[in-house]
Amino acid sequence: MTCEGLIRKLSEILDGELDPALAEELTRHLQHCEDCSLVVNTTRKTIEMYCNSEPAPLPDEVRRQIDRALAEKLERSSS
């Protein structure tokens, strides 16, 4: 397994979708390749950071704008 081969399989590594034989081969590569280990770990961290970032609340102004539009729509559809 080369470094390029490992990077091409990075998503499968991160998503736990490797078949067992390949997983063993990649684990052996990662045990002696510090660069690939860093890439795997920092890519995993990248995904975690975006997943864990809390959405900012819907701004009040936007909520009011949407509420008004929906209320108008409802009024029109019921009349």
Partner 1 sequence: MPTHLENENTLVADARAGNGDAFAALLSQYDTRLFRLALRITGNQQDAADALQEALLKAFRGLVGFRGDSRFYTWIVRIVLNEGLIKLRERRRDLMVSLNEPIQTDDDSFMPREIEDWGDNPEQRYSKTEFDAILNQNLDQLEPTLRIVFLLRDVEGFSIEETARMLGLSIPAVKTRLLRARLKLRERLTKYFKQGARL
Residues that bind partner 1 in the complex, under the rule CB under 8 A = 3-4, 7-8, 10-11, 14, 35, 38-39, 41-43, 45-47, 49-51, 53, 55-59, 61-63, 65-67, 69-71, 73-74, 77-78
Cβ at position 6, least distance to partner 1 in Å: 11
15 alpha-carbon distance from chain centroid: 10
Identity of the residue, 8 or 28, whose beta carbon is nearer to partner 1 in the bound complex: 8
DSSP state of 55: P
Q: Are 6 and 26 in contact (CB under 8 A)?
A: yes
